[in-house]
Chains A and B, each alone.
Chain A
């Protein structure tokens, strides 16, 4: 693992047990993501994409194997430590945006910061900066229901960015958007990536997958192929 490696999975397996039936969601995944890299994870439904992303986001723990984040082994951490790492080092972008309906745009973006020991002024600065980055600072007091889907997802991106995470994990970020808004969100992610953000995105849309630096293809819980994305190819070319 080089200094530029942010994430390293080694032999990660995930087995679910339900009614005495074993389901192997992931089988021996080896994966490295470098700082500043934009990686997409592709594959058909049920191939383990979301499980992989959940393990990457410390929302779930692997049954086997090791996971190093930013040079630290994070498998075997307590729930409390995992929560802290999620809060400080990982930003999540969900397909369904997952903004809280009762909270304003500002409050939604501020939410992860409230779980840190940050003063109100610091939180406000970070929230405003994040909203500026996604172009939503003019909608501070709006509620999610008052925004379009594209705007909601931009707010969700701002929420993911607000805590200055090491990596953004995006789970089908365009899945609930029409193509125009989908394009806009992808442009936003590329812009963030261009400014140095590390992004790992699950998608089943080949167009968006191809736009990443690297695409990891999953099938039946295994990495079956890794390809350089169009953008990477263009850069190499």
Chain B
């Protein structure tokens, strides 16, 4: 123990003696550790970390896999009656089956109305998760028995802190949620933010209060329908039960449920083929320890990719520091020789050297943690809606801390071992004698291998960065098919304030009319679904005269839009007519389709006047009155779907109004104040949400791609920078070590340019050798992430060439300084000790 303390003291003194070296080593390593820690912070919270609930690994999510006949909010959704069936029939597999669904709601308190994230939960939700209350109580089974019968709410801890200042007397206070009065009964435990990663719950309400909540879509997605599924179902597995066992045990139960579903009146007009497909559905029991995974799944590959890239950056930093240590080791050869001569064992010496490495790594870990925190905060701002609502904390917790310490320890061994072992190869007798008669040349393979590895990794990273940047550029340059620049878009959801469909349509008409009168506004249109928002609405259609083949998908993307919508977005009606104010009524009667729809169903014949129906033959006919060109819908990356548009004033179910305001040029935000003023005048209690220029909407739709491209570029350029530092260091060391040789060459008649070529050539040779290995590796790596690319091949020669040229230029620049210094060597100075 005493020896260890002595070694620690020695290591600390040794580092203190070379503060410049220590600072460079710590900072270099901190860049790598910081990048890896930041990526781990994101990956951990998005992909790895379980929910902060009791025994999260015993949570399972149930998923319907296979054909579903009717409306849904995703394949992880269930109808409420099916949830109740599952709860009643799966008791031997699950201790509890519970359900939840989150939805943006309007929240009114103290005369102010804001939009919040509401989580509707079944009465056993908190109990099943083992989450208690920080104040008051949570929602219990007795709070979720009768439809619309339990207007009680639990506040999220953070929401309670932000909105109510953490007041402990909030219990019993009344709040308005979607125009219904609720009583606060408690505050959820600190740290628990609901089950949805991308949207932390502000308020929890009983699921049986659904009729009072989200009234806009209540008509079709309700507590009794068996055709529209919306709620996510989870179960807590009984002890000893695995996901596989649960799935096997539930298969017969599920088969019975499917048969029962087919008897539902809402499925009576299903075709035999449709029934067969329906029967093929299976129940999948998925891990539920992280809640619904849709957004997590979307981000998982990019985040692993980024962690991998940061790992490469860390490896480059390690190689850099290892090189520094080797150089320092060479300078310390005599000191090491003396210590060995005095009888210090090589093992003990190695321990001393590794302790120095650990101290450097410790410093790097501390600096890296700080860097990671800043980086993560910055990266969170790049997420689609900034950091709002996303359950990611930039501050390191114990897991992150453990990761950083682990990484630092491993890197300490990685960068410290090779230089340590090399230092131990010192032969005391020879080292302490004067040197022999030949001059050391430029061959010092370990350092060159390390720099070669840096070049190799940097080129792989740069090539990756190039491909991702190219992908982003391709997507940004993609024409969405409509005008983006002049538009401002915002949303309102009057249904949450108790508006009926008719009142809402009247409000929207008035809003359009008054906005259209603003001086800078050219056109105003309204849609149910905001384009490029990642949302869509789809449904099956039955087109008159079109015989569908078995298994053919007749799923069409829909939107409900007002007159002026196409004009606001600059989308021409190429055949037929646009919607007008006469297109009103309770039933949808007319539609506009895109060219893809028209061509699919009618080939070269005109689509105008054609009839189709939503659902079966009994549904009302809808006549196509216009055709527009193909335009993008969910996002720019997605293929353009077959689309149809119905009049907003005929869509009684349209709970949302996404308003597009086309301005006469300049920054569309300048009309924002006018928009807010008009909305306040029309109804001050209806909040405006997500107001932004369409350019921002477009940019946000590419936020994942931008995040990847940004990080890849940052990693690539940092890697190139570290590589330049590494190359510079090695070449400088090489020039210093070869001063005598260079002096000799000059004495023998070498001209300065020949010496410059000699040194710079060394950098370029190292670069060339590394590039030969790096380019195929970059290609192979790019193939692994091909799904993240768009409009570019993994072997894109332009990108690979650009990365090579860029790094080649960096190598040349890194070599230029030492080459210049070498060429200025005075032969007499170099050979002075003759």
* Residues of chain A having any CB pair with chain B under 8 Å: 50, 54, 57, 59-60, 79-80, 83-84, 86-88, 92, 94-103, 111-112, 115-116, 144-145, 149, 152, 159, 163, 171-172, 176
Contact = CB atoms under 8 A, between A and B. Distances in A.
B682 interface: no
B747 A111 contact: no
B381 interface: no
Contacts of B754: 115
Contact of A86 (B443, B749, B828): B749
B747 A57 contact: yes
Contact of B438 (A57, A144, A172): A144
Given A83-B746, A99-B437, A101-B441, A115 B751 contact: yes
A87 B749 CA distance: 4
Interface in B413-467: 436-443
Contact of A99 (B438, B443, B745, B749): B438
A94 B751 contact: no
Interface in B728-767: 740-741, 744-752, 754
B272 interface: no
B56 interface: no
Nearest to B753: A80
Nearest 10 Cβ contacts at the A-B interface:
A87-B749, A102-B441, A144-B438, A112-B748, A101-B438, A97-B437, A102-B443, A86-B749, A115-B749, A99-B438
Contacts of B745: 111, 115
Given A97-B437, A176-B437, A60 B750 contact: no
Given A100-B439, A100-B741, A144-B437, A95 B834 contact: yes
B762 to A, nearest CB: 12
Contacts of A80: 751-752
A81 to B, nearest CB: 10
Contacts of A115: 745, 748-751, 754
Given A96-B834, A172-B834, A84 B441 contact: no
B831 interface: yes
Given A59-B827, A80-B751, A102-B440, 12 more contacts: A80-B752, A83-B749, A96-B437, A98-B439, A98-B740, A99-B437, A99-B438, A101-B440, A111-B745, A115-B745, A145-B438, A172-B834
Contact of A84 (B740, B747, B751, B834): B751
B833 to A, nearest CB: 8
Given A50-B834, A59-B827, A100-B741, A152 B748 contact: no
Contact of A54 (B440, B752, B828): B828
Nearest to A50: B834
Nearest to A102: B441
B437 A103 contact: no
A204 B169 CA distance: 102
Given A100-B438, A101-B438, A102-B443, A83 B750 contact: yes
Interface of B: 436-443, 740-741, 744-752, 754, 827-828, 831, 834
B413 to A, nearest CB: 31
Contacts, number: 80
Contact of A98 (B744, B750, B751, B752): B744
Contacts of A163: 749
Contact of B747 (A86, A102, A176): A86
Contacts of B441: 100-103
A83 B750 CA distance: 6
Contact of B834 (A79, A94, A100): A94
A159 B745 CA distance: 12
Contact of B828 (A59, A95, A111): A59
Contacts of A59: 747, 827-828, 831
Contacts of A92: 747-748
A153 to B, nearest CB: 8
14 contacts: A50-B834, A60-B828, A79-B752, A84-B749, A86-B747, A86-B749, A92-B747, A94-B831, A97-B437, A112-B748, A115-B748, A115-B749, A171-B834, A172-B834
Contacts of B750: 83, 87, 115
A97 B741 CA distance: 12
Contacts of B740: 98
Contacts of B442: 102
Contacts of A96: 437, 834
Nearest to A92: B747
A112 B437 CA distance: 19
Nearest to A84: B749
A225 to B, nearest CB: 24
A228 to B, nearest CB: 28
Given A59-B828, A100-B441, A86 B748 contact: yes
A163 B747 CA distance: 13
Contacts of A83: 746, 749-752
A86 B750 CA distance: 9
Contacts of B440: 101-102
A144 B438 CA distance: 6
A176 B436 CA distance: 9
Contact of A145 (B436, B751, B828, B834): B436
Contact of B439 (A79, A84, A86, A99): A99
Nearest to A171: B834
Contacts of B436: 145
Contacts of B831: 59, 94, 98
B447 to A, nearest CB: 14
A112 B751 CA distance: 11
A211 B439 CA distance: 30
User: Which of B441, B442, B754 is most buried by chain A, counting CB atoms within 10 A of its CB?
Assistant: B441
Nearest to B746: A83
A212 to B, nearest CB: 20
Contacts of A149: 437
A79 to B, nearest CB: 7
